Amino acid sequence: MPNFLRLLDGRLACFLRYRTSHLDTWTAMIICRDETQLGAVDDGTALWTDPVRISPPAPGRHVLLNNRVLRLRHGARAGRILLPLASPWPWDEEDRRGSDIRAWVLYSDDDGVTWQPSDTMLAGPERGLMEPYLMESPEGRVRMWMRTQMSCQYETTSDDGGTTWSPAGPGPVVSPESPVAVARHEASGQLMMVWNHNRRGAHTADRTPVCVAFSNDEGGSWSNEHRLDPSVDDTGDGRSFSYPGAHFIGDQGIVTYYENSDRQISLVVRRFELATS
């Protein structure tokens, strides 16, 4: 699940997950050697540099999802790169259903040359806090949403650029055990969230329907909810939809997610125009 970021020197960086063993899943940074060849048929070895480990050394299972990297734009830590991760705790434990999974952040103040873990490791109830997502406010506060087994997304905030975090607690977003994606519409400042509006079922169940909603108060509340596929009900007809990505190009919203049925797993891409009047 890749994360792409333009470095300050113009190079294209990709952050992704590597797995060496059950107790060594690590976060790597690679750099594109020739962007003109992106999309060409290639095994990737010539196009990208060798992976550089940026998460702590083994043991540890540090999970980074897609569409997560954030470069801060405001405040004293402007320019800092944040990568939100989740890991079974302690780090020498495997990821089991009963694991204590904790959310934390890797950050870099020198454009990816060196990396530090956040001072705070966020703990939660039952299996813990998983698959975090970040968004920065214009005032420089960073909000994190986390998948839980509590029928809602847990939330926390940081006022020092991700070094420390407030205690995590339940937020207003009703959700099964699945992640969210959040994007900002630059012209209006609105946030858009993509997620499964449903309550907790069995592990990874009830990942349906896929909804979008909007916030005018930096994620404090959400309204104007829509189902991206009105034909899909709360049962999904045996299908599940999850791991969204969200982005705006001008007024056009772009959302991606997977559709998992008994027959196959498909990538879904949806585009829509944001009403600005």
The per-residue DSSP string of 215-243 comes to: ESSTTS--EEEEESSTT--TTGGG-EEEE
Task: Concatenate the DSSP letters of all residues of 35-71 into one string.
Answer: GGGTTSS--STTTBPPPEE-SPPSSEE-B--TT--EE
Number of CB atoms found within 10 A of residue 154's CB: 25
pLDDT, one tens digit per residue, over 35-94 is 988 877 666 567 999 999 999 999 999 999 999 999 999 999 999 999 999 999 998 877
- What's the domain range around 260? 180-277
Residue 20 lies in a domain: no
Residue 226 lies in a domain: yes
Distance CA 62, CA 249 (A): 31
Residue 263 lies in a domain: yes
Residue 214 lies in a domain: yes
Residue 37 lies in a domain: no
Q: How many domains does the chain have?
A: 1
Q: pTM for this one?
A: 0.93
**Quick one: which H or E segment has residue 184?**
strand 181-184
Residue 189 lies in a domain: yes
pLDDT, one tens digit per residue, over 109-151 is 999 999 999 999 999 999 999 999 999 999 999 999 999 999 9
Report whether 64 contacts 1 (CB < 8 A). Answer: yes
Residue 163 lies in a domain: no
Residue 171 lies in a domain: no
**Across the beta sheet with 116-117, what order do the strands follow?**
70-71, 81-89, 100-108, 116-117
